[in-house]
Amino acid sequence: PHFVSEKLECRHPTASMPGVFQLAPQEISEEAQRACDLGLQAVLLFGIPATKDDQGSSAYDENGVVQRAVRAIKAKCPELVVITDVCLCEYMSHGHCGVTKMDGGHFHVLNDESVELLAQTALSHAAAGADLVAPSDMMDGRIGAIREMLDSNGFDQTGIMSYAAKFASVFYGPFREAAESPPQFGDRSSYQMDSANAAEALREVALDIDEGADIVLIKPALPYLDILWRVRERFAKPTGVYHVSGEYAMVKAAVEKGCIEERPAVLEIMTSLKRAGADLIITYWARELAEWTKE
Ligand code: PBG
Protein backbone atom coordinates (compact mmCIF):
# COMPACT_ATOMS: atom_id res chain seq x y z
CA PRO A 1 0.00 0.00 0.00
CA HIS A 2 1.15 3.53 -0.84
CA PHE A 3 -0.28 6.83 0.36
CA VAL A 4 0.19 9.68 -2.10
CA SER A 5 -0.57 13.19 -0.91
CA GLU A 6 -1.24 16.02 -3.30
CA LYS A 7 -0.23 18.44 -0.54
CA LEU A 8 3.36 17.25 -0.12
CA GLU A 9 6.65 18.19 -1.76
CA CYS A 10 8.53 15.34 -0.10
CA ARG A 11 7.73 12.27 2.03
CA HIS A 12 6.26 12.61 5.50
CA PRO A 13 6.36 9.84 8.16
CA THR A 14 3.07 8.60 9.64
CA ALA A 15 2.78 8.85 13.43
CA SER A 16 1.73 5.30 14.29
CA MET A 17 3.13 3.19 11.43
CA PRO A 18 6.93 3.26 11.60
CA GLY A 19 8.40 2.84 8.13
CA VAL A 20 5.19 3.94 6.37
CA PHE A 21 5.21 7.37 4.71
CA GLN A 22 2.87 9.69 2.93
CA LEU A 23 4.57 10.25 -0.41
CA ALA A 24 4.68 13.35 -2.61
CA PRO A 25 3.25 12.82 -6.11
CA GLN A 26 6.69 13.10 -7.73
CA GLU A 27 8.04 10.27 -5.52
CA ILE A 28 5.55 7.57 -6.47
CA SER A 29 7.16 6.34 -9.69
CA GLU A 30 10.49 5.84 -7.87
CA GLU A 31 8.72 3.85 -5.15
CA ALA A 32 7.02 1.76 -7.79
CA GLN A 33 10.37 1.09 -9.43
CA ARG A 34 11.70 -0.03 -6.05
CA ALA A 35 8.76 -2.42 -5.68
CA CYS A 36 9.45 -3.79 -9.17
CA ASP A 37 13.16 -4.25 -8.46
CA LEU A 38 12.29 -6.22 -5.32
CA GLY A 39 10.10 -8.55 -7.34
CA LEU A 40 6.78 -7.34 -5.95
CA GLN A 41 3.93 -7.79 -8.38
CA ALA A 42 1.57 -5.02 -7.41
CA VAL A 43 1.09 -1.74 -5.61
CA LEU A 44 -2.12 -0.49 -4.02
CA LEU A 45 -2.68 3.28 -4.15
CA PHE A 46 -4.49 5.55 -1.70
CA GLY A 47 -4.80 9.26 -2.44
CA ILE A 48 -4.87 12.27 -0.16
CA PRO A 49 -6.32 15.19 -2.12
CA ALA A 50 -5.53 18.88 -1.64
CA THR A 51 -9.23 19.72 -1.30
CA LYS A 52 -12.22 17.86 0.12
CA ASP A 53 -15.94 18.56 -0.24
CA ASP A 54 -19.27 16.89 0.48
CA GLN A 55 -19.40 15.19 -2.94
CA GLY A 56 -15.85 13.82 -2.85
CA SER A 57 -15.23 15.45 -6.21
CA SER A 58 -11.43 15.06 -6.19
CA ALA A 59 -11.98 11.29 -6.13
CA TYR A 60 -13.23 11.21 -9.73
CA ASP A 61 -11.24 14.12 -11.14
CA GLU A 62 -9.25 12.88 -14.13
CA ASN A 63 -6.29 14.86 -12.85
CA GLY A 64 -6.75 13.77 -9.26
CA VAL A 65 -3.86 12.57 -7.13
CA VAL A 66 -4.46 8.85 -7.76
CA GLN A 67 -5.14 9.25 -11.46
CA ARG A 68 -1.84 11.14 -11.90
CA ALA A 69 0.01 8.59 -9.77
CA VAL A 70 -1.28 5.71 -11.91
CA ARG A 71 -0.09 7.42 -15.10
CA ALA A 72 3.33 8.13 -13.57
CA ILE A 73 3.77 4.51 -12.47
CA LYS A 74 2.61 3.06 -15.76
CA ALA A 75 5.03 5.34 -17.64
CA LYS A 76 7.96 4.06 -15.56
CA CYS A 77 7.06 0.40 -14.79
CA PRO A 78 4.38 -0.77 -17.22
CA GLU A 79 4.65 -4.36 -15.96
CA LEU A 80 3.77 -3.55 -12.35
CA VAL A 81 0.13 -4.28 -11.51
CA VAL A 82 -1.46 -1.06 -10.29
CA ILE A 83 -4.44 -1.43 -7.97
CA THR A 84 -6.36 1.65 -6.85
CA ASP A 85 -8.45 1.96 -3.73
CA VAL A 86 -11.92 3.16 -4.69
CA CYS A 87 -13.54 4.97 -1.78
CA LEU A 88 -14.77 8.45 -0.96
CA CYS A 89 -13.66 8.85 2.66
CA GLU A 90 -10.34 10.54 1.87
CA TYR A 91 -12.14 12.97 -0.46
CA MET A 92 -15.17 13.85 1.66
CA SER A 93 -15.01 16.79 4.08
CA HIS A 94 -16.84 14.63 6.66
CA GLY A 95 -14.65 11.52 6.21
CA HIS A 96 -17.45 9.03 5.47
CA CYS A 97 -17.18 6.53 2.62
CA GLY A 98 -20.30 7.86 0.88
CA VAL A 99 -22.61 10.84 0.51
CA THR A 100 -24.33 11.68 3.81
CA LYS A 101 -27.56 13.34 4.78
CA MET A 102 -28.56 14.70 8.18
CA ASP A 103 -32.01 13.73 9.32
CA GLY A 104 -33.31 14.87 12.72
CA GLY A 105 -29.87 14.86 14.31
CA HIS A 106 -28.92 11.48 12.78
CA PHE A 107 -26.82 11.01 9.72
CA HIS A 108 -27.48 8.54 6.93
CA VAL A 109 -25.20 7.40 4.20
CA LEU A 110 -27.07 7.59 0.90
CA ASN A 111 -26.25 4.27 -0.71
CA ASP A 112 -27.29 4.75 -4.33
CA GLU A 113 -25.96 8.31 -4.68
CA SER A 114 -22.65 7.05 -3.28
CA VAL A 115 -22.53 4.09 -5.69
CA GLU A 116 -22.82 6.47 -8.64
CA LEU A 117 -19.82 8.50 -7.48
CA LEU A 118 -17.84 5.34 -6.74
CA ALA A 119 -18.49 4.03 -10.25
CA GLN A 120 -17.27 7.35 -11.70
CA THR A 121 -14.18 7.12 -9.52
CA ALA A 122 -13.46 3.58 -10.71
CA LEU A 123 -13.88 4.65 -14.33
CA SER A 124 -11.42 7.53 -13.90
CA HIS A 125 -8.86 5.14 -12.38
CA ALA A 126 -9.30 2.66 -15.24
CA ALA A 127 -8.96 5.47 -17.78
CA ALA A 128 -5.67 6.47 -16.13
CA GLY A 129 -4.40 2.90 -16.59
CA ALA A 130 -5.20 1.02 -13.37
CA ASP A 131 -5.19 -2.76 -13.83
CA LEU A 132 -7.53 -3.43 -10.94
CA VAL A 133 -9.86 -1.19 -9.01
CA ALA A 134 -10.47 -2.03 -5.36
CA PRO A 135 -13.73 -0.68 -3.92
CA SER A 136 -13.39 -0.47 -0.12
CA ASP A 137 -16.51 1.58 0.63
CA MET A 138 -18.94 -1.28 1.44
CA MET A 139 -22.01 0.30 -0.20
CA ASP A 140 -24.56 -2.20 -1.52
CA GLY A 141 -24.55 -2.91 -5.24
CA ARG A 142 -21.32 -1.11 -6.03
CA ILE A 143 -19.56 -4.05 -7.64
CA GLY A 144 -22.31 -4.48 -10.21
CA ALA A 145 -22.46 -0.74 -10.87
CA ILE A 146 -18.68 -0.49 -11.29
CA ARG A 147 -18.56 -3.54 -13.57
CA GLU A 148 -21.26 -2.04 -15.75
CA MET A 149 -19.60 1.39 -15.84
CA LEU A 150 -16.24 -0.14 -16.83
CA ASP A 151 -17.71 -2.46 -19.46
CA SER A 152 -19.82 0.19 -21.11
CA ASN A 153 -16.78 2.47 -21.44
CA GLY A 154 -14.47 -0.08 -23.02
CA PHE A 155 -12.67 -1.16 -19.85
CA ASP A 156 -13.84 -4.75 -19.79
CA GLN A 157 -10.24 -5.85 -19.13
CA THR A 158 -9.97 -3.86 -15.92
CA GLY A 159 -10.48 -6.17 -12.95
CA ILE A 160 -12.26 -5.62 -9.67
CA MET A 161 -10.72 -6.57 -6.36
CA SER A 162 -13.60 -6.20 -3.98
CA TYR A 163 -13.37 -5.58 -0.26
CA ALA A 164 -16.16 -8.09 0.09
CA ALA A 165 -16.02 -8.78 3.80
CA LYS A 166 -14.81 -5.61 5.45
CA PHE A 167 -15.56 -5.46 9.13
CA ALA A 168 -16.09 -2.26 11.13
CA SER A 169 -12.78 -2.46 12.94
CA VAL A 170 -10.78 -0.57 15.52
CA PHE A 171 -7.66 -1.76 13.67
CA TYR A 172 -8.10 0.84 10.90
CA GLY A 173 -7.15 3.65 13.32
CA PRO A 174 -3.56 4.25 12.13
CA PHE A 175 -4.65 4.15 8.47
CA ARG A 176 -7.17 6.91 9.03
CA GLU A 177 -4.40 9.11 10.36
CA ALA A 178 -2.13 8.19 7.41
CA ALA A 179 -4.92 8.73 4.86
CA GLU A 180 -6.36 11.75 6.71
CA SER A 181 -9.80 10.16 6.59
CA PRO A 182 -11.29 9.76 10.10
CA PRO A 183 -15.07 10.33 10.15
CA GLN A 184 -15.86 13.77 11.61
CA PHE A 185 -19.07 12.44 13.22
CA GLY A 186 -20.58 9.01 13.85
CA ASP A 187 -18.81 5.82 12.81
CA ARG A 188 -18.78 3.38 9.92
CA SER A 189 -20.91 0.68 11.50
CA SER A 190 -23.90 1.29 9.23
CA TYR A 191 -21.93 0.25 6.14
CA GLN A 192 -19.03 -1.86 7.42
CA MET A 193 -19.79 -5.25 8.94
CA ASP A 194 -20.43 -6.40 12.49
CA SER A 195 -17.46 -8.44 13.66
CA ALA A 196 -19.77 -10.98 15.33
CA ASN A 197 -21.63 -11.77 12.11
CA ALA A 198 -19.96 -14.48 10.04
CA ALA A 199 -23.12 -15.32 8.07
CA GLU A 200 -23.35 -11.76 6.76
CA ALA A 201 -19.74 -11.96 5.60
CA LEU A 202 -20.55 -15.01 3.49
CA ARG A 203 -23.62 -13.31 2.04
CA GLU A 204 -21.62 -10.19 1.15
CA VAL A 205 -18.96 -12.27 -0.58
CA ALA A 206 -21.60 -14.22 -2.55
CA LEU A 207 -23.20 -10.96 -3.70
CA ASP A 208 -19.90 -9.42 -4.79
CA ILE A 209 -18.93 -12.52 -6.77
CA ASP A 210 -22.34 -12.53 -8.38
CA GLU A 211 -21.99 -8.87 -9.33
CA GLY A 212 -18.61 -9.46 -10.99
CA ALA A 213 -15.77 -9.32 -8.43
CA ASP A 214 -12.59 -11.00 -9.72
CA ILE A 215 -10.82 -11.12 -6.37
CA VAL A 216 -12.52 -10.96 -2.97
CA LEU A 217 -10.85 -9.53 0.11
CA ILE A 218 -11.26 -10.19 3.79
CA LYS A 219 -10.25 -7.40 6.13
CA PRO A 220 -8.73 -7.14 8.77
CA ALA A 221 -6.62 -10.31 8.77
CA LEU A 222 -5.74 -12.07 12.04
CA PRO A 223 -9.05 -11.53 13.89
CA TYR A 224 -10.90 -12.91 10.81
CA LEU A 225 -8.89 -15.99 9.79
CA ASP A 226 -12.02 -18.11 10.21
CA ILE A 227 -13.82 -15.96 7.63
CA LEU A 228 -10.87 -16.13 5.24
CA TRP A 229 -10.80 -19.91 5.50
CA ARG A 230 -14.55 -20.28 5.00
CA VAL A 231 -14.64 -17.93 2.02
CA ARG A 232 -11.70 -19.62 0.28
CA GLU A 233 -13.19 -23.07 0.85
CA ARG A 234 -16.74 -22.19 -0.06
CA PHE A 235 -16.29 -20.00 -3.14
CA ALA A 236 -12.90 -21.13 -4.49
CA LYS A 237 -12.35 -17.64 -5.90
CA PRO A 238 -9.05 -15.76 -5.76
CA THR A 239 -9.17 -14.59 -2.15
CA GLY A 240 -7.05 -11.90 -0.60
CA VAL A 241 -6.57 -10.63 2.90
CA TYR A 242 -5.60 -7.17 4.14
CA HIS A 243 -3.32 -7.22 7.15
CA VAL A 244 -4.30 -3.71 8.22
CA SER A 245 -2.65 -0.69 9.77
CA GLY A 246 -3.54 -1.44 13.40
CA GLU A 247 -2.29 -5.00 13.10
CA TYR A 248 0.98 -3.63 11.73
CA ALA A 249 1.21 -0.94 14.41
CA MET A 250 0.71 -3.46 17.23
CA VAL A 251 3.63 -5.58 16.12
CA LYS A 252 5.83 -2.54 15.55
CA ALA A 253 5.02 -1.23 19.05
CA ALA A 254 5.81 -4.60 20.62
CA VAL A 255 9.09 -4.76 18.70
CA GLU A 256 10.02 -1.25 19.84
CA LYS A 257 9.36 -2.29 23.44
CA GLY A 258 11.62 -5.30 23.01
CA CYS A 259 8.74 -7.74 23.63
CA ILE A 260 9.06 -9.68 20.38
CA GLU A 261 11.42 -10.01 17.43
CA GLU A 262 10.09 -8.50 14.22
CA ARG A 263 11.19 -10.87 11.46
CA PRO A 264 10.02 -14.18 12.95
CA ALA A 265 6.81 -12.52 14.14
CA VAL A 266 6.02 -11.21 10.66
CA LEU A 267 6.90 -14.51 9.01
CA GLU A 268 4.65 -16.39 11.45
CA ILE A 269 1.75 -14.00 10.80
CA MET A 270 2.14 -14.19 7.02
CA THR A 271 2.39 -17.98 7.16
CA SER A 272 -0.88 -18.09 9.08
CA LEU A 273 -2.58 -16.01 6.40
CA LYS A 274 -1.35 -18.36 3.66
CA ARG A 275 -2.36 -21.38 5.74
CA ALA A 276 -5.87 -19.94 6.15
CA GLY A 277 -6.21 -19.74 2.38
CA ALA A 278 -4.95 -16.33 1.22
CA ASP A 279 -3.97 -16.22 -2.45
CA LEU A 280 -2.91 -12.62 -2.02
CA ILE A 281 -1.78 -10.62 1.01
CA ILE A 282 -1.84 -6.85 1.35
CA THR A 283 0.71 -5.84 3.94
CA TYR A 284 2.84 -2.86 4.98
CA TRP A 285 5.74 -5.34 5.25
CA ALA A 286 5.68 -6.21 1.53
CA ARG A 287 9.14 -4.77 0.80
CA GLU A 288 10.79 -6.39 3.81
CA LEU A 289 9.14 -9.72 3.00
CA ALA A 290 10.46 -9.54 -0.55
CA GLU A 291 13.97 -8.83 0.79
CA TRP A 292 13.79 -11.62 3.39
CA THR A 293 12.51 -14.07 0.80
CA LYS A 294 15.52 -13.26 -1.42
CA GLU A 295 17.91 -13.86 1.47
C1 PBG B 1 -11.08 3.27 3.05
C2 PBG B 1 -10.14 2.24 3.60
C3 PBG B 1 -9.75 2.01 4.92
C4 PBG B 1 -8.75 1.04 4.89
C5 PBG B 1 -8.56 0.69 3.55
N6 PBG B 1 -9.45 1.42 2.78
C7 PBG B 1 -10.16 2.68 6.18
C8 PBG B 1 -11.53 2.63 6.70
O9 PBG B 1 -12.40 1.92 6.19
O10 PBG B 1 -11.75 3.35 7.66
C11 PBG B 1 -7.99 0.52 6.09
C12 PBG B 1 -6.64 -0.06 5.80
C13 PBG B 1 -5.76 -0.19 6.99
O14 PBG B 1 -6.18 0.01 8.15
O15 PBG B 1 -4.58 -0.51 6.78
N16 PBG B 1 -12.40 3.07 3.32
Q: Is the CB of 97 under 6 A from ligand 1?
A: yes
Q: Is 245 in the pocket of ligand 1 (CB under 6 A)?
A: yes
Mean of pLDDT values over 64-89: 97
Distance from Cα 244 to the centre of ligand 1, integer Å: 8
Distance (angstroms) between ligand 1 centre and the Cα of 172 equals 6
**pLDDT digit string (tens) for 244-258?**
999 999 999 999 999
Q: For position 227, what pLDDT does the model report?
A: 98
Of the candidates 43, 72, 52, the residue with the CA atom closest to the CA atom of residue 7: 52
Give the Cα separation of 143 and 295 in Å (integer): 40
Which positions are annotated as active-site residues?
166, 219
Alpha helices (runs of H) in 189-237, residue ranges in sequence order: 198-211, 225-235
Q: Express each pLDDT in 199-231 by its tens digit.
A: 999 999 999 999 999 999 999 999 999 999 999
Task: Quick: pLDDT tens for 5-43.
Answer: 999 999 999 998 999 999 999 999 999 999 999 999 999
Q: Is the CB of 21 under 6 A from ligand 1?
A: no
Report the distance separating Cα 52 and Cα 49, nearest Å: 7
Phi, psi angle pair for 85, to nearest 5°: -70, 130
Task: Judge whether 169 and 183 are in contact, CB under 8 Å.
Answer: no
Distance between Cα 288 and ligand 1 center (Å): 22
Give the model's pLDDT for residue 179: 86
Band of pLDDT at residue 103, cut at 50, 70 and 90: confident
pLDDT of residue 50: 96
How much helix, strand and coil, in percent to the nearest 5, is found in the chain? 45, 20, 35
Residue 197: CB atoms within 10 A of its CB come to: 14
Contact status, residue 48 vs residue 179, Cβ threshold 8 Å: yes
Helix (H) or strand (E) holding 82: strand 81-86
pLDDT at site 185: 85
On the question of pLDDT at 129 being above 90, the answer is yes
Mean pLDDT for 155-170 is: 96
Q: How far is CA 55 from CA 49, 127, 210, in A?
A: 13, 21, 28
Ligand 1 atom closest to residue 248's alpha carbon, by position in its atom list: 15
Is the predicted pLDDT of residue 187 greater than 90, yes or no?
Answer: no
Question: What is the Cβ-side half-sphere exposure of residue 37, based on CA atoms within 13 angstroms?
Answer: 7
Better-scored residue on pLDDT, 161 or 96: 161
Q: Are 33 and 51 in contact (CB under 8 A)?
A: no
Q: Distance between CA atoms of 50 and 179, rounded to whole angstroms?
A: 12
Residue having the nearest C-alpha atom to atom 5 of ligand 1: 136
